[in-house]
Amino acid sequence: MGGKPDDGVSPMSFIRPEAQAAIWRWREVVAGAAMALLGLSGVAGPGGLIGWVGWALVAAGFSLGVIGAQRARFRGEGEGPGIVSVDEGQISYFGPLTGGVIAARELERLTLDPTQHPAHWVLSQPGLPALAIPVTAEGAESLFDIFATLPGMRTEHMLAQLRGGAVHPVVIWEKTPSRPAHLRLH
């Protein structure tokens, strides 16, 4: 699993810890930009086969940057209560007061509950109590990949709700809609 930059300040460090944390949070965007710049240098250079490889690097860098921007917007500080783990489709959360395990493929509903402090993801599975996971829990960024693969998930909508300051719980995704078909979810 990916780690965080060292929180201690080394005597040889040239970058402030806050800047290191920001770079680490946006690491995929930085890597995508570097890849795209490398590709552009190949395109502007001798051309031929290197030019074609350069265009492929530009496209890959752009894709990595877009996905990285979504991931960076999803990531919290990671200093909230509890630890999240995702292993072979099983989502585990172990916190100071609650915890549990839920199968990603059995997920019925995903809700964002901003009324709790910090805000919580509420994962519902039939036959089990809902699992509430703080958005700032350590390892909560691994939930992005699970949520992004849910059929019909609107990732930009999820990110907007996460940063939008909702005042009541919002259903982000449902496997089987619990409302009449003529009413939209959002």
pTM as predicted: 0.67
Q: Are 138 and 79 in contact (CB under 8 A)?
A: yes
Which of 28, 50, 74 corresponds to the end of one domain? 74
Nearest in space to 87 (alpha carbons), one of 158, 154, 145, 5:
145
- C-alpha to C-alpha distance for 4 and 20, rounded to whole angstroms: 9
Owning domain of residue 132: 80-174
Q: What is the number of structural domains in the chain?
A: 2
Query: Residue 166's pLDDT is what?
Result: 75
Q: Are residues 167 and 103 in the same domain?
A: yes
The overall average pLDDT reported for the chain is 83
The reply to whether 123 falls in a domain is yes
Q: Are 79 and 142 in contact (CB under 8 A)?
A: no
Whether 180 shows a pLDDT value over 60: the answer reads no
- Angle 139-91-143 (CA atoms, 0-180°, nearest 5)? 50
CB atoms within 10 A of CB 116: 12
Q: Are residues 140 and 104 in the same domain?
A: yes
Kindly report, residue by residue over 103-141, the tens digit of the pLDDT: 999 999 999 998 888 889 999 999 889 999 998 888 888
Q: Are 114 and 165 in contact (CB under 8 A)?
A: yes
- Edge to edge, the sheet with strand 80-87 lists 99-103, 90-94, 80-87, 137-138
**Maximum pairwise Cα distance, the chain:** 62
Is residue 100 left, alpha or beta, with left meaning phi > 0 and alpha meaning psi from -120 to 50?
A: left
- C-alpha to C-alpha distance for 134 and 114, rounded to whole angstroms: 10
Which of 74, 107, 139 corresponds to the end of one domain? 74
| Stretch 13-37: mean pLDDT | 82
| Stretch 81-96: mean pLDDT | 90
Which of 74, 102, 122 corresponds to the end of one domain? 74
Stretch (H or E) spanning 66: helix 48-74
Query: Residue 70's pLDDT is what?
Result: 77
Query: Residue 169's pLDDT is what?
Result: 92
Stretch (H or E) spanning 63: helix 48-74
The reply to whether 108 falls in a domain is yes
Q: Are 108 and 126 in contact (CB under 8 A)?
A: yes
Q: Are residues 124 and 166 in the same domain?
A: yes
